[in-house]
Chains A and B, each alone.
Chain A
Amino acid sequence: MGMNKEQEISRRSFFHKVGTAGVAVVAAGTTLTSAPRQASASAIDALVAERLGAGDVAYEKVLIDTPPSAENGALVRIPVSVDHPMESDNYIQSIAIFVDNNPKPFVGQFDFTPESGRAAVECRIKMAKTSQVRAIAKTNAGKLYGFKQEIQVAEGGCAG
């Protein structure tokens, strides 16, 4: 019994520390936080399927060219581009952007035509806190390519 109580206390103090250093723990990606993060990832997968259709995402060809940390979560630069032809029968049809840890992870979608010439846009987004940011692109044939990067946010932007 005495043993259990000791364990209980050490667990509590551990959780207390986790609470105060939550951001660091998330960044380190310990086993403790992996469960909810996975749940969140599958929710994102469902959102991707809803926006762009179901399918495996190949994490290649797409790039979000932004630093891994942002001072201000209210204004995070997202220049996104896809290295892919824009020909009449072979082009990028859509790029959708998601922020896993935002209250509403779907941020926006851009739909292209071959006349767009290049599947590249830049926008600025809000991030509530440090999060994985994803850009998922779909070809006219329905193939999915993607890119994901964690962006550290020093100060959260007004609830995305």
Chain B
Amino acid sequence: MAIGKPKVRGPRKAVAKGEVVQFKSLIKHPMESGLRKNQETGQAIPAHYIESVTVVYGGKTVLSATWTGSISKNPFFSFYVKAAKTGDVTVTWKDNQGKEFTANSSLKVA
């Protein structure tokens, strides 16, 4: 199964300073909880899930998340950021096998 292809999307047009804007993110990931078994072999499928997500804007972590194998596969995640100045909103996903994924969306503040 494909893993990665991280995406984050916010407003395309410039927003006013102080406006609270929504961002949507998506990444391909199996989000295996470690609790499932292979139907044919009976062997446990090893846990493989994203365990942390951080959102950095203006050089500061404005939001972070701790996830488990109970988040659905190919996780969608939306959140809000308060517009302060033009800059990137960067989302970083880290999984329990040490892989890291990053995606950006530039926020224009008028």
When the two chains form their complex, are residues B68 and A158 in contact, meaning their CB atoms are under 8 A apart? no
In the assembled complex, B71 has its CB within 8 A of some CB on chain A: yes
A125, B70: Cα distance in complex, Å: 6
- Cross-interface CB contact of B72 among A75, A110, A118, cutoff 8 Å: A75
Contacts of B80 in A (CB 8 A): 116-118, 120
In the assembled complex, B67 has its CB within 8 A of some CB on chain A: yes
Interface majority SS (helix, strand, loop, mixed), chain B: strand
When the two chains form their complex, are residues B72 and A157 in contact, meaning their CB atoms are under 8 A apart? yes
| Segment touching B, from A20-28, A32-40, A54-62, A100-108 | A100-108
Evaluate whether A123 and B76 lie within 8 angstroms (CB atoms) in the complex, with A113-B63, A116-B81 already known. yes
When the two chains form their complex, are residues A113 and B70 in contact, meaning their CB atoms are under 8 A apart? no
Contacts of A158 in B (CB 8 A): 33, 35-36
Shortest distance in angstroms between A52's beta carbon and chain B's nearest beta carbon?
12
When the two chains form their complex, are residues B77 and A126 in contact, meaning their CB atoms are under 8 A apart? no
When the two chains form their complex, are residues A104 and B68 in contact, meaning their CB atoms are under 8 A apart? yes
Evaluate whether A116 and B70 lie within 8 angstroms (CB atoms) in the complex, with A122-B77, A123-B75, A124-B76 already known. no
A108, B71: Cα distance in complex, Å: 7
Shortest distance in angstroms between B28's beta carbon and chain A's nearest beta carbon?
14
A25, B4: Cα distance in complex, Å: 43
Shortest distance in angstroms between B26's beta carbon and chain A's nearest beta carbon?
11
Residues A112-149 near B (CB distance < 8 A): 112-118, 120-126
| Segment touching A, from B5-13, B54-62, B92-100 | B54-62
Contacts of B35 in A (CB 8 A): 103-104, 158-160
In the assembled complex, A153 has its CB within 8 A of some CB on chain B: no
Contacts of A124 in B (CB 8 A): 71-72, 75-76
Known: A124-B75, A126-B69. 7 other contacts (CB 8 A): A106-B70, A107-B68, A107-B70, A118-B20, A120-B80, A122-B78, A160-B69
Task: Please list the residues of chain A having a beta carbon within 8 angstroms of any beta carbon in chain B.
Answer: 74-76, 79, 86, 99, 102-104, 106-118, 120-126, 157-160
Task: Please list the residues of chain B having a beta carbon within 8 angstroms of any beta carbon in chain A.
Answer: 20-21, 33, 35-36, 57-58, 60-73, 75-84
